């Protein structure tokens, strides 16, 4: 009987363990590309959703070159305050967790990397007007170094390596990270990770993106915010210059509001904003008082310098800066071309001889409708006009309009057909 009771007990225990394993739930949040305010909101909502469904663990998959400081700190805060175990995982092979991504990787309760992945390179940088990146000021470096060290201390990871990530811009591979204790394990894919976590057979829930998160993610990208800012300014400007349709100013106002929201999600340089406004002012002045491109050239220079000095985020990647520089130069050239086209149109208009109204009659030939000596009548463009001439012009002869005085045309003799 004892053997039977022991067998029944072991069977129930095994069945209970299997049932428990089958009910494990893994909630997956994916961070790919630049870390923005939208990314932070997605992680915050993901932690809430995971708690709501009773997930056993949260898996944050990372493949990011960096991002915004405030957004990164919000993500770390969400991980620290999560009531559920958080696994940070750099995956798939070839993925990176650079700059801001390394802060997120080290903040996980369990840190994992796939083979062929890298992390590190967290030195804060600034972007000078010449388009080159350089280390940020000591105050920023010291602050972010201390922040990285505090994360490492809290999670039991090597503080010296964490410090070198920021102070020396150290970057390491997944194998090096495992050897140095930066990560806890290497797993090629999620099933292998679950095996090592004793969660085989867990149900996997992948976070579904929401429109709100995607919109915030888009607006908090400095590149998009810059484009919206220019579109907003140009729209309002052209709306005032050609009133009546309300379309340009409406579009401009919407874009400007969205741009201001986006600019509020990351650090900006005030001097950059001033230069952008100065550029737009020079463009407007060029259109109102053409200087044959002098003001436009100055506007292009101010626009490029202002845009490059606009984002002041130390954890953005060098690749992001290169892309941003190309976007800025492209927009500056397009703006210059547009305003030069506007200048050319203004100059052509000013040089074009009027073809309507009273001034449009000067230089045309007409037929005398009566003898003109010195006063008579002529017909021009189907209209009868009073005319004067120093020379005697007989009825039916041709004459040229040389001047207009009120309702009287001043004529001169000419050979040719009448208009």
Read off the pLDDT of residues 282-329 as tens digits, 9 standing for 90 and up: 887 877 776 667 888 888 888 888 888 888 888 888 788 888 888 888
Same-fold call for 21-210 versus 358-413: no
Q: Which CATH architecture has domain 358-413?
A: Beta Barrel (2.40)
Does 181 or 385 have the greater pLDDT score?
Answer: 181
Residue 18 pLDDT exceeds 50: no
Radius of gyration of the chain (CA): 36
Q: What is the pLDDT of residues 333-372, one digit of tens each?
A: 887 777 777 555 555 555 555 554 556 677 788 888 888 8
pLDDT at 359: 60
Which whole number is the average pLDDT over 46-65? 95
Residue 8 pLDDT exceeds 90: no
- The pLDDT > 90 percentage for the chain reads 41
pLDDT at 178: 95
Does 11 or 236 have the greater pLDDT score?
Answer: 236
Burial of 418 (C-beta count, 10 Å sphere; 0-12/13-18/19+): middle
Strands in 171-173's sheet, in edge-to-edge order, are 96-98, 118-120, 171-173
Q: What is the pLDDT of residues 97-135, one digit of tens each?
A: 999 999 999 999 999 999 999 999 999 988 766 656 788
pLDDT at 353: 54
pLDDT at 79: 96
pLDDT at 5: 47
Name the phi and psi angles at 404, rounded to 5.
Answer: -130, 130
pLDDT at 131: 59
Q: Where are the domains of the chain?
A: 21-210, 215-351, 358-413
Which pairing describes strands 133-135 and 375-380: parallel, antiparallel, or unpaired? unpaired
Which pairing describes strands 118-120 and 96-98: parallel, antiparallel, or unpaired? parallel
d(CA 213, CA 222): 16
User: Which SS3 state, helix, strand or coil, does residue 299 take?
Assistant: helix
**Residue 99 annotated as catalytic:** yes
pLDDT at 27: 96
What's the predicted TM-score (pTM) here?
0.74
d(CA 219, CA 255): 10
Residue 214 pLDDT exceeds 60: yes
**Residue 139 annotated as catalytic:** yes
Catalytic residue among 78, 82, 91, 99: 99
Contacts of 92 (CB under 8 A, 6+ apart): 63, 114, 189
pLDDT at 34: 92
Catalytic residue among 2, 3, 134, 139: 139
Which whole number is the average pLDDT over 221-239? 86
Q: What is the DSSP letter of 359?
A: G
Residue 15 pLDDT exceeds 50: no
Burial of 73 (C-beta count, 10 Å sphere; 0-12/13-18/19+): middle
Which whole number is the average pLDDT over 268-276? 86
Which pairing describes strands 383-388 and 203-206: parallel, antiparallel, or unpaired? unpaired
d(CA 125, CA 70): 15
The domain 21-210 is placed in CATH, from the list 3.30.70.870, 3.40.50.720, 3.90.226.10, 3.40.710.10, at 3.90.226.10
Average pLDDT, the chain: 84
């Amino acid at each position: 009987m004892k053997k039977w009771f022991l067998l029944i007990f072991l069977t129930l225990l095994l069945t209970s363990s299997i049932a428990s394993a089958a009910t494990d739930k893994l909630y997956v949040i994916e961070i790919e590309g630049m870390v923005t305010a939208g990314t932070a909101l997605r992680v915050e909502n993901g932690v809430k959703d995971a708690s709501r469904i009773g997930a056993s663990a949260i898996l944050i998959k990372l493949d990011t070159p960096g991002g915004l400081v405030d957004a990164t700190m919000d993500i770390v805060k969400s991980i620290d305050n999560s009531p559920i175990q958080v696994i940070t995982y750099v995956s798939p092979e070839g993925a990176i967790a650079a700059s801001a991504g390394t802060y997120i990787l080290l903040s996980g309760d369990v840190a994992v990397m796939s083979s062929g992945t890298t992390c590190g390179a967290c030195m804060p940088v600034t972007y000078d007007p010449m388009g080159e990146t350089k280390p940020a000021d000591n105050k920023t470096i010291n602050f972010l170094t201390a922040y990285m060290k505090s994360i490492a201390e809290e999670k039991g990871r090597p503080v010296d390596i964490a410090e070198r990530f920021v102070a020396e811009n150290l970057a390491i591979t997944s194998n090096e990270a495992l050897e140095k204790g930066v990560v806890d394990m290497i797993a090629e894919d999620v099933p292998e990770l679950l095996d090592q976590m004793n969660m085989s057979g867990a149900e996997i829930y992948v976070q579904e993106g929401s429109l709100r998160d995607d919109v915030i993610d888009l607006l908090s990208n400095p590149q998009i915010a810059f484009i919206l800012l220019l579109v907003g300014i140009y729209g309002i400007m052209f709306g005032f210059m050609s009133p009546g349709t309300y379309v340009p100013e409406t579009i401009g106002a919407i874009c400007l509001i969205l741009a201001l929201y986006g600019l509020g999600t990351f650090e900006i340089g005030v001097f950059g904003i001033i230069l952008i406004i100065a550029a737009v002012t020079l463009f407007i002045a060029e259109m109102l008082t053409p200087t044959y491109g002098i003001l436009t050239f100055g506007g292009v220079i101010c626009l490029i310098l202002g845009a490059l000095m606009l984002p002041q985020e130390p954890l953005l990647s060098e690749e992001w800066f290169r892309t941003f520089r190309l976007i800025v130069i492209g927009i500056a050239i397009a703006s210059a071309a547009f305003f030069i086209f506007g200048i050319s149109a203004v100059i052509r208009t000013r040089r074009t001889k009027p073809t309507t109204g009273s001034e449009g009659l000067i230089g045309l030939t007409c037929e005398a409708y009566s003898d003109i000596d010195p006063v008579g009548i002529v017909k021009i463009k189907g209209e009868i006009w009073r005319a004067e001439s120093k020379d005697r012009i007989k009825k039916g002869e041709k004459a040229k309009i040389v001047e207009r005085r009120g309702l009287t045309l001043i004529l001169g003799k000419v050979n040719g057909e009448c208009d």
